[in-house]
Structure 1
Amino acid sequence: MTLQQALDLSVTNPRSPEHIGVLVPWANVVVETELPQWGRGRMVWHYARLVPAHGGTALDEDFLSGLVEAVPETLHQLSRLSLDRVYLACTSAAFTRLDRLAEVTAGSPVRVVSAFEAILAQLRAYGVQKIALATPYPREVTEAEVTQFAERDVIVTGSVSLGLADRYAEVSVHEQVALVDQLGKEALQHADAVVLSCTGWPTRAAIKMLRRRLGRLVTSSNAAIALHALQERP
């Protein structure tokens, strides 16, 4: 089911909106913009900020560890709300700290789904086995994501990254399209889908443009969260 099909189904089968929690890295300004646009009133999104102890915003080891360690306290901010589930809207923190994330969310009374899990769920739903991956991350973080996809039987035919540690919201659609072009024809031809990983860069316009150009599934971290939320509605 595509995101549009999920939206259409929710129109023909109207129900009360679900209340969804979202844990957002404290400098991320894109999640709150994109999720409501994709959800179109089918979800009520409740946000809480993940603040790493070291107080930084650049994507490095301290930042990633700090976000995961901040999860329990941030979940507590939402504890008075009746939520259907909570999403961790940081893809890289999830795939680089999988074991620790499982530990800190084990006692949560509400299900916590990471952006990385949402991407995997969408790929499984579409029967996607091979992807081309584009990210704004430093190269070593992108390589870690390639490894995590491979461990879940998703082959990455090619990967490219901008090599940035911060300021992802400033990446333009033209930069994203140019980045995907760097994957090369062979990597794109062998991929069933293109994944734009990271909740911190805006992807709605790039997804539309790339789908038209490539004629295949293009998704992103925020798109996957929105689709997962729509498909999980009871």
Structure 2
Amino acid sequence: MPPPRTYRIGQIVPSSNVTMETEVPAILRARQALLPDERFTFHSSRMRMTHVTPEQLKAMDADSDRCAVELSDARVDVLGYACLVAIMSMGLGYHRTSEQRLHTRTVENGAPAPVVTSAGALVHGLHTMGARKIALLAPYMRPLTRTVVDYLTYEGIEVLDYEALEIPDNLDVAAHDPAKLPGLARALEYADADAVVLSACVQMPSLGAIEEAEQLLGKPVVSAAVCTAHQMLRALDLPAVAPGAGHLLSGAYAQTPLPRTPLPPPLPQ
């Protein structure tokens, strides 16, 4: 009997992020219970960021090239950029630019790897489910949350309602109690939404509340982290399925192809 295949998962994370290195591994390790012939190891490189401000996000994003090269030194099989708002604050459609540039860095280093950004993964995950109208929760200050709303709108996703929790310190974002999220989501105007984003931030933990929120709201519920795991699996050409992570990873979208075109929609006039 052949040994299990091991996949190396690389993540570019803000220096103060303590969530993506727990939630993505939790999703993929839960998957191993269904598919024991696969194993995953997890490897990170960090960009300096302590406060979620436009200035720190811009400086941090400039450091992502170094991280991509470092992770490709480890010959990772897929590389994830684990900061949604850093990408979205750089301009409409920027996830395509970032993914292409960072992939080029891995190619130049002799270890080509597909690149997934959490921003692009959220967009793709919502489109995968056919979610044209959503409601969302975000921990950011209101102007940055509005940036997320505008970014999703540009990608053809209407945000019917949102709540900005306005937590400026990134470690405080990680400390937010995920048990509170279903109740916060229930206060949103979500009746006409196709899906609810329980955490539009990979630092705000939500994995343990996803399925509870789906039962409470009667809607598909995702997070940026769940969408990232889905797209990472598809980038590895693996079925995107994992227990305990909500509708997107239920198996209904296990074979959804990745987006093929790097071209964004036309810029607004």
Q: Give the superposed CA RMSD.
A: 2.0
Distance 1:189 1:147 in 2: 21
Asked if the contact 2:10–2:79 (Cα under 8 Å) also holds between the matched residues in 1, the reply is: yes
The aligned residue for residue 188 of structure 1 is 190
The aligned residue for residue 177 of structure 1 is 182
Q: Structure 1, unaligned stretches of length 5 or more? A: 1-13
> Comparing both structures, which one devotes a greater share of its residues to helix?
1
Q: Is 1:151 equivalent to 2:154 in the alignment?
A: yes
Q: How many residues align?
A: 214
Label 1:217 to 1:23 Cα distance change in 2 as closer, same or farther (>3 A). same
Q: Equivalent of 1:118, from 118, 121, 145?
A: 121
* 1:185-209 Cα shifts (integer Å, max 9, x gaps): xx21111111121011111122122
Deviation at 1:161, TM superposition (A): 1.1
Counterpart residue identity of residue 47, structure 2 = L
Q: Secondary structure at the match of 1:113?
A: strand
The aligned residue for residue 70 of structure 1 is 63
The aligned residue for residue 133 of structure 2 is 130
Query: What is the percentage of aligned positions where both structures have the same residue?
Result: 27
Q: Is 1:22 equivalent to 2:11 in the alignment?
A: yes
Counterpart residue identity of residue 73, structure 1 = R
Moved more, 174-183 or 69-78: 174-183
Asked if the contact 2:14–2:46 (Cα under 8 Å) also holds between the matched residues in 1, the reply is: yes
* 1:49-106 Cα shifts (integer Å, max 9, x gaps): 1125xxxx11101211011011011122213122222110001001111477626536
The aligned residue for residue 46 of structure 2 is 49
Counterpart residue identity of residue 174, structure 2 = A
Deviation at 1:219, TM superposition (A): 0.8
Moved more, 192-201 or 70-79: 70-79
Q: Structure 2, unaligned stretches of length 5 or more? A: 33-38, 108-112, 238-269
Q: Secondary structure at the match of 1:19?
A: strand
Distance 1:135 1:91 in 2: 11
Q: Is 1:86 equivalent to 2:79 in the alignment?
A: yes
Distance 1:176 1:151 in 2: 26
* 1:89-129 Cα shifts (integer Å, max 9, x gaps): 00100111147762653632233221011111111211111
Asked if the contact 1:134–1:161 (Cα under 8 Å) also holds between the matched residues in 2, the reply is: yes
- Structure 1 segments of 4+ aligned residues over 6 angstroms from their partners: none
Deviation at 1:221, TM superposition (A): 1.1
Distance 1:15 1:91 in 2: 32
Distance 2:143 2:161 in 1: 14
Asked if the contact 1:68–1:100 (Cα under 8 Å) also holds between the matched residues in 2, the reply is: no
- Per chain length, whose mean CA-contact separation is higher, i.e. which structure has more relative contact order (CA < 8 Å, sep 6+)? 1
The aligned residue for residue 223 of structure 2 is 220
TM-score (norm 1): 0.84
Asked if the contact 2:140–2:166 (Cα under 8 Å) also holds between the matched residues in 1, the reply is: yes
Asked if the contact 1:23–1:48 (Cα under 8 Å) also holds between the matched residues in 2, the reply is: yes
The aligned residue for residue 247 of structure 2 is none
Deviation at 1:15, TM superposition (A): 6.2
